[in-house]
């Protein structure tokens, strides 16, 4: 399986064979779905909280007598039926993360990379560097590559590159250790630098 090689001026300078053990594996859709759900669950903060009727401020005194007033019965101003009352089934902080085998995570990542490669959405960048940590420099590179959709750029990050790319909403920059199934599937195009592609052997099973 081959991918086109481009330079930062957007010129196609050749082709390169992608590693078969990474970009030509069996695509396991159900496993990718399982791993994406696990990833998103682990991203949840779980800090949401609301107060029950036992926790909201207010007196516990009965607002008025039970009978004879013509109004509905009421036992507390902290009732969930009242304004400023408690929440019936109040959400409380909880942990959403759980664990799955590392081998499943690795196989799902290889499946996602293989799927992108078979769709022709993996391209190689000869090298990437920015002279100044400016957004306009990174935007110019993307414009020359003629890519308008969401991009995952896999390369070795430095301070200038990180600062130049962080304000571009359609660009996600990560290195090989930070590569996830979710990031790959979420992107329309996956761009590897030659240097990062050489280090991809660490992803194989």
CATH code linked to domain 2-44+101-203 = 3.40.1370.10
Give residue 204's pLDDT band: very low, low, confident or very high (50, 70, 90): low
* Whole-number pLDDT of residue 9: 86
pLDDT tens per residue, range 86-138: 999 999 999 999 999 999 999 999 999 999 999 989 999 988 888 888 999 99
pLDDT tens per residue, range 3-33: 888 888 888 888 888 888 899 899 999 999 9
Spans of all domains in the chain: 2-44+101-203, 46-95
- DSSP H or E run through 196: helix 194-198
DSSP lists the bridge partners of residue 154 as 174, 192
Rounded to two decimals, what is the model's pTM? 0.83
């Amino acid at each position: 399986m081959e991918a086109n090689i481009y330079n930062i001026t957007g010129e196609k300078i050749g082709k390169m064979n992608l590693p078969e053990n990474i970009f030509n594996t069996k695509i396991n859709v159900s496993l990718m779905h399982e791993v994406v759900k696990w990833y998103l669950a682990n991203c949840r903060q779980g800090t949401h909280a609301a107060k029950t009727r036992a926790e909201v401020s207010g007196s516990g005194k009965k607002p008025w007598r039970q009978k004879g007033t013509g109004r509905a019965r009421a036992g507390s101003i902290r009732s969930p039926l009242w304004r400023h009352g408690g929440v019936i089934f109040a959400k409380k902080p909880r942990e959403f993360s759980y664990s799955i085998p590392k081998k499943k995570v690795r196989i799902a990542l290889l499946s996602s990379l293989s799927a992108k490669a078979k769709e022709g959405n993996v391209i190689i960048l000869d090298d990437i560097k920015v002279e100044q940590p400016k957004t306009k420099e990174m935007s110019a590179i993307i414009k020359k590559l003629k890519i308008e959709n969401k991009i995952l750029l896999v390369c070795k990050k430095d301070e200038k590159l990180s600062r130049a790319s962080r304000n571009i909403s359609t660009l996600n920059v990560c290195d090989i250790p930070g590569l996830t199934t979710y990031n790959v599937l979420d992107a329309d195009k996956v761009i590897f630098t030659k240097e990062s592609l050489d280090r991809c052997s660490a992803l194989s099973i």
